[in-house]
Structures are given as structure tokens and as C-alpha cells.
Amino acid sequence: MDFKKLSDQYRDELLNNVLPFWLQNSQDKEFGGYFTCLDREGKVFDTDKFIWLQGREVWMFSMLYNKVEKRQEWLDCAVQGGEFLKKYGHDGNYNWYFSLDRSGRPLVEPYNIFSYTFATMAFGQLSLATGNQEYADIARKTFDIILSKVDNPKGKWNKLHPDTRNLKNFALPMILCNLAMEIEHILGKDYLERAMNTCIHEVMDVFYRPELGGIIVENVDINGNLVDCFEGRQITPGHAIEAMWFIMDLGKRLHRPELIEKAKNTTFTMLEYGWDKEHGGIFYFLDRNSFPPQQLEWDQKLWWVHIESLISLLKGYQLTGDKQCLDWFEKVHDYTWAHFRDAEYPEWYGYLNRRGEVLLPLKGGKWKGCFHVPRGLFQCWKILETISLQTFPGLLNIAETQFKSIY
């Protein structure tokens, strides 16, 4: 495998195809913020603004400015989005709405916790890019609200009847694994390590189920028990695989090679479980008892699922040297580039049917924005670049694991 050539492929796609698409088409020069509902060619087909996607785009261009190159157009894009969010995105107390109209008037109340998480990520990175303490304060205040809502993320907008079937969902502890590291400069080392260990416990001890062959479930009851209902049987392979590269990052940060090894092996387990052996690609939703899933879109193939899998597989190889990661990477890479990349227009498709045919030609919408494709291209580019310079990928962690097993 030519790691240098692959690294160049991911870098060029990011810098020369995907980022120019969003810079040119998504910025609302009149009202501020971003359009995310963009058709195949980049034309706006709806002007509503979804807070979690606004936050993701602020984060993306701030992160690229911080980690790739000090391009003024990237910083300007991030700042104008951040200012729009600061002014219109919340109720005055950092309760972040789900959506706004084009001018910034609220449309949907702050029921969705991911409006909060991506606002935190956005202002955390933007504070690093600008040195603006106000942005850091917004990130910290919002993070504190997230922690206060962990047991009931939707708060008064929770439509479920209390105390009959209290479930907790995998998505929040999963995203907190990543969010804690994103705002390390705001939280401080001691607080961060406590938050990390709590998130690791939730993901790898509560939602990871060895009695089910090492798969990760999407919902458990409040005591961490399996539940036999639609939600309790739900498996979301993409969520689980994405979480595994978050866990690998935490394992590296905390010097825990055994955690990296477990996350890498769980990635394999979830890929085997979720791979469509008839048509290729990874299923969106499955039922752990092989019953019909409640989601009608269960067999669709989604962009983010495959891109997140590429990241996990490359991190797994980089940190452990396991060649099985490369076997799976090649398989997922080939499927992803053949089916999701648009050969005629910039950016990638998001939604395929089970056979791998384009289901919706949009490049952005209510759920797809400037995030998974560019973040995935960036992550893969940088990991591949690092691997190409390494003589023995994973040697450090392998040595640490062997040392601990002996002593």
C-alpha cells in the first residue's frame, strides 16, 4: 500500500475539492452563518439554519486554521459563523436552539443536546484561532450545561413518559469522548482526565456488550441493562465505529495501549457485523435479534458511516501495526471512493440505497453539512502522512503492551 500516494489523494480532495465547495456556496454574506441545504452543484434549496451544523462548520474552519495553515479566508469564514451563533443561536442563557430561519429567528426550541455539543466544539476551536476569551467562556459555560443535562438531555422537551422505560443513549457519552479532548485547553488537565475516564467507562463498560460478542448497543436502561424493545435492540454500526477512534485517541492520550487494542478489535467486530455481504457497504441500522428494525432507512448506505470507519481503521494500524486494519481499510476505501465521491461536481453524496446507487443527489441538508467529509479527509490525510514516515507503525504501543504483560 502506497501510503504517500494515499495521503496525497486525501489531502488534494480536501483542499482542492471539498473545502472550496463550502467556502463558495455555504456562507450567507447577507445575514451571516451558513447555508447547509445545497444541491449537487452547490445551489441553495432551503435557507433554514440548523445549529449543530452551524457549529460544525465554525469548528471545521477554525480547526483547519489552527492545524493546517493560517489562511485568512478560513478564519474569516469561522468568525462570521461564530458571531452569527453567538448572536442568534441561543436563548441568552446558552440554551442552544435546534434551528433558526435565515435571519436568525428561532424555529425549533433547544431540545437537541447536539446543538450544545457542537456549539462547545465550535467556540473551543474558535477561541484557539482568535485568542478571544469570550469564545472560550461560551464553550465552558455550554459544556457545564451539557454535564447538567446528561441524565435527561432533552429536558422539558422529552416526550417520553417518565419512569416506565428510562433509557440512556450511546450518542452522548460517545461525543463527550471527543468533546473533552477538543476543549482540553479550557477544562484543565485534572478535570479533563476525570471526564475522560467517565466517558471511557460508559462506552467500553456499559454500551460495549461482551455477552453479545463484543458489539456496541445504542440504548440500555438507566442501570446499564439490555432492554428488549425496538430502541433496546438497535445497533448503529457507524456510531460504534466512530466512537472507537475517539477511544483510541483517549487511549493514546492516557498511555493505555490495552484500550487502543480493545477499540481496534471492536472496530473489526462492528465492521463484520454491519457489512452488507451481498451489495457491499455498511448498513445504517440493525436489530441485535435480527428482527426488522424500526427505521425504514435501515439498509441505506450513508457517507459518514464509511468515512468514520476509514479513520478508525487507519488509527488502528498507526497505533498497533495490525495488518488486518489495512485489509479492511482497502475494502472500505474502495467502496467509499467509488460510490460517495461525485466525479462531476465537488463534495460527496451522502445517501445511497442498499445497492450503492445515489438516493439523494444533495451535497448538504438538514443532517449533512461541512463536517464528516472534510474531517475524515483531514484525519486520513494526516494519519497516512504520519504512517508513510514511520518505519514500524504501532511499534510503541506493541512494545508497551508486551512490557506490561511481562511485568
Distances (CA, A) of 170 to 7, 274, 326, 368: 32, 17, 27, 20
Confidence at residue 407, expressed as pLDDT on a 0 to 100 scale: 32
Residues 6+ apart with CB under 8 A from 39: 45, 361, 362, 363
Rounded CA separation 350/373 (Å): 9
pLDDT averaged over the chain? Answer: 94
- Rounded mean pLDDT, 15-40: 98
**What is the band of 150 on the pLDDT scale with cuts at 50, 70, 90?**
confident
Taking only the tens place, the pLDDT of each residue in 276-328 is 999 999 999 999 999 999 999 999 999 999 999 999 999 999 999 999 999 99
What share of the chain has pLDDT > 90, as a percent?
87
Confidence band, pLDDT 50/70/90 cuts, at residue 154: confident
- Cα 396 to Cα 143, 187, 393, distances in angstroms: 34, 28, 8
Please tell me the CATH code under which domain 1-30+166-388 is placed: 1.50.10.10
Cell 504501543 belongs to residue:
397
Q: pLDDT by residue (tens digit) across 218-260?
A: 999 999 999 999 999 999 999 999 999 999 999 999 999 999 9
pLDDT digits (tens, 9 = 90+) for 81-132: 999 999 999 999 999 999 999 999 999 999 999 999 999 999 999 999 999 9
Query: Would the CATH topology of 1-30+166-388 be identical to that of 34-165?
Result: yes
Task: Read off the pLDDT band of 391 (50, 70, 90).
Answer: low
The pTM is what? 0.95
Is the domain 34-165 a CATH 1.50.10.20 member? yes
pLDDT exceeds cutoff 70 at 398 = no
- Break the chain into its structural domains and give their ranges: 1-30+166-388, 34-165
- The pLDDT score that the predictor gives to residue 403 is 36
Q: Give the model's confidence band at 159: pLDDT under 50 very low, under 70 low, under 90 confident, else very high.
A: confident
Q: How confident is the model at residue 401 (pLDDT cuts 50, 70, 90)?
A: very low
Burial of 24 (0-12, 13-18, 19+ CB in 10 A): exposed
